Amino acid sequence: MTTPSRLDSARRFAKAHGFDLDAPLRVGGNYQPLTEHAGIAHLSGQVPRIGDTVVATGCVGESVSLAQARQAAEVSTLRLLAILHQSGGLDRVVQVLKLGVFVQSAAGFTQQSEVADAASDLLVAVFGAAGTHARTSVGVFQLPKDAAVELDLAVSVTPSA
């Protein structure tokens, strides 16, 4: 039995969320979804959008449950994986370095790290040991498009061909 490729693993998670890793991702401003310098790729923040729909909006711990926020974190992670896939492939990733997780939190909500765990688990499922990373998870008052979560990522990569 062979181990599934990184892309096969990512596609399996994407299918479960109705997400297409090959679909173009809309950029909503004067920035790049990925910049690369000296072997480090920095990925811009991604909200849990599928097509034109942000799938989880509002405050976690109020109108958004922990389970919904964890699913939103997975969708945001899939968007990050799509950017990597469309920018040279998941096999270019040598190591996931740092994951930033921002959770639009209701007053008193303290489970930001549990929301972030869903994203961390997905990265390890796709990349194996290379998916382990440093992480910050914070609660914030507001996010773009009223998204419940937003994630950004830094990875080390091999040079593109």
Query: Which residue range forms the structural domain that includes residue 51?
Result: 6-23+34-157
pLDDT in tens, 7-41: 999 999 999 999 999 999 888 788 999 999 999 99
**pTM for the predicted model, two decimal places:** 0.96
> For the chain, what is the domain count?
1
Sort residue 140 into left (φ over 0), alpha (ψ -120 to 50) or beta.
beta
Backbone angles phi, psi at 70, to 5 degrees: -65, -40
pLDDT of residue 99: 98
Q: What percent of the chain has pLDDT over 70?
A: 98
pLDDT in tens, 119-131: 999 999 999 999 9
Q: What is the CATH number of the domain that holds 131?
A: 3.30.1330.40
Assigned domain for 70 exists: yes
pLDDT in tens, 69-91: 999 999 999 999 999 999 999 99
Assigned domain for 29 exists: no
Mean predicted lDDT score pLDDT of the chain: 96
Assigned domain for 28 exists: no
Assigned domain for 65 exists: yes
